[in-house]
Amino acid sequence: MTNFVSSVTMGLVRRTGRIGSAMSVLIAAVSLGVVATSAAEAQVTWKPSYGGGTSYDEGNAAPKAYYPQKKSYAASSKKKSSGGVKVAALGGGSYDYKPKKPSITGGGGVKWVANAGCLDGSLKSVIYQVASNYGPVTVSSTCRSKSHNSRVGGAPRSKHLSGDAADFRVHSNVSATYAYLKSSGTVGGLKHYGGGLFHIDNGDRRSW
């Protein structure tokens, strides 16, 4: 570009013989060259961008459209069954309601004063059921040795000798406990000594 302007300027000086006019032409030519160069550079480096996530490269690439994703709000209504009671749940939450079986005293524990490991499992289940329904239970006798059985006045063929009998005391609801033990198919021998103290065993159905 500079050589071209110089040659043009010298040609004008030879023809016109006027340096002032040549200088004016030179200044105008240089200005046009700078403008043309700036325009060319701007055309190469300018990259138009558009809002909405769409952009263009220098070439003729197809625009990439941006599609914003819609939020989904799921609201479902499902019916869940819990103990015969149907409850509705909205969304992902859950409401689990389990009604408890009412008991007379609110339930209680079992205190084992005697050995629990040697006692027949079905009798142990009866004792836990009594505690759950009618209140705390204290188990005072389960398995006995022959000497211990003789010392406490037990029958010679007592079920305590084989771990098939238990003596326990309930601290409340004595009448309800007695009625439950009488109706239980697991209990064979049943005796209420008084004051909530019971004997149960898995022998024949009897009472004394």
Fold of the domain spanning 110-207: Muramoyl-pentapeptide Carboxypeptidase; domain 2 (3.30.1380)
Q: Are 90 and 76 in contact (CB under 8 A)?
A: yes
What is the C-alpha separation between 9 and 26, in angstroms, rounded?
6
What is the C-alpha separation between 57 and 105, in angstroms, rounded?
82
Name the more confident of 102 and 195.
195
Would you mind telling me the total number of residues written for the chain in this entry? 208
> Rounded mean pLDDT of the chain?
73
Mean local confidence (pLDDT), 32-58: 51
- Helix extents (H) in 17-165: 19-45, 121-134, 146-151
pLDDT number for residue 104: 44
Helix, strand, or coil (residue 7): helix
Element (H, E) at 193: strand 189-194
Choose the most confident range, by mean pLDDT, from 17-21, 66-70, 168-172.
Answer: 168-172
pTM > 0.75: no
- Residue 77 — very low, low, confident or very high, per pLDDT cuts 50/70/90? very low
Q: Would the pLDDT of 25 be above 80? A: no
pLDDT digits 0-9 by tens, 139-175: 999 999 999 999 999 999 999 999 999 999 999 999 9
Q: Are 46 and 57 in contact (CB under 8 A)?
A: no
**How many C-beta atoms lie closer than 10 Å to residue 79's C-beta?**
8
pLDDT digits 0-9 by tens, 130-140: 999 999 999 99
Mean local confidence (pLDDT), 113-119: 95
Q: Are 125 and 103 in contact (CB under 8 A)?
A: no
- Residue 108 — very low, low, confident or very high, per pLDDT cuts 50/70/90? confident
Q: Would the pLDDT of 54 be above 70? A: no
Angle at 198 between CA 195 and CA 200, to 5 degrees: 175
